[in-house]
Amino acid sequence: MARSDVEFRSGGVVCRAWLYRPDADDPAPIIVMAHGLGAIKEMRLDAFAERFCDAGYACLVFDYRHFGASDGQPRQLLSVRRQLGDWAAAIAFARSLAEVDNRRVILWGTSFSGGHVLAAAARDGDVAAVIAQCPFTSGTASVLAMAPATAVKVTGRAIADLAAKVARRDPVMVALAGEPHDTALMTAPDVVPGYLSLVPDGQPFTNEVAARVVPEIALHHPGRALAHLTCPVLVCVCEKDSVAPPRQTIRYAQRGPTTQLNRYPEGHFDIYVGDAFEEVVADQVDFLDRVVPLG
């Protein structure tokens, strides 16, 4: 395989990405990939992309505006609307590539982007398939999973940041990963060891985002898109998920006319590494072989 650095523009801002191309004679279908809440592509997306590329698929792995290698000010500004715009721009860029089978674009998302790929596919209407891994599907379910005291503290940060936005001041930040009872968006016991361990040694990473995203998350329900998708969809649910509550995701998946639901007895962060990673990535390759075969 070959990996190269590429870039495309979204909303006038440069997004940077990795382009993986398999060693094959024929143009390969391309999988567009991005990470979850506040995460960057170096946090194990390369491991998934390498497996897909070994199986014969091209991959475009990008960072959102305001995060990682991509441009955008202020840094760490998480916006559902802008990130969905980045997905649309990444899909358009993938379709512009002559060296891949740009008629067959597949979307792959995990955690927060597992919800994004459902919404992005519904908006686009012409993707070949979707893989949503431990997806965020319901803002209501995620808010109810938070400890009440944590929800109150996080809401206070959000109000302060919205006021700062109106006053044109610097954003008020909130941590992404924290210990139980910390003021953070994710505070389950497995979050800090699971999320932060995905950051490679020496890789710059900022464990915070502008708190104004909190009401956007609460009102976002991308799982509803499953009922309307007509392309093949694979939803991989972690039954012990402490971050993206599985019960509501399973309900949404059961309403999807083209949805295959796979369930794993794992926590939210377990499937990025070890035996759980091996199992889930093998299932995803099998799904691709069936619904978007090579050649």
For residue 1, pLDDT over 80 is answered with: no
Residue 251 domain-assigned (yes or no): yes
Quick one: average pLDDT of 142-156? 91
What's this model's pTM, rounded to 2 decimal places?
A: 0.96
Residue 241 domain-assigned (yes or no)? yes
In a domain, 172, yes or no: no
Does any domain span residue 148?
no
Q: Where are the alpha helices (DSSP H) in the chain?
A: 45-54, 80-95, 112-124, 139-145, 148-166, 191-195, 213-218, 246-254, 274-291
CATH of the domain at 19: 3.40.50.1820
How many structural domains does the chain have?
1
Does residue 108 lie in a domain region?
yes
Domain housing 72: 2-138+220-291
Tell me what pLDDT residue 56 has: 97
Could you tell me if residue 182 is inside a domain?
A: no
Contacts of 79 (CB under 8 A, 6+ apart): 66, 213, 216
What pLDDT band is residue 289 in, cutting at 50, 70 and 90?
A: very high
| Percentage of the chain lying above the pLDDT 70 cut | 100
Could you tell me whether strands 58-62 and 29-34 are parallel, antiparallel, or unpaired per DSSP bridges? parallel
- Measured distance CA(181)–CA(190) in Å, rounded: 13
In a domain, 203, yes or no: no
With respect to residue 102, please indicate whether it lies within any of the assigned structural domains: yes
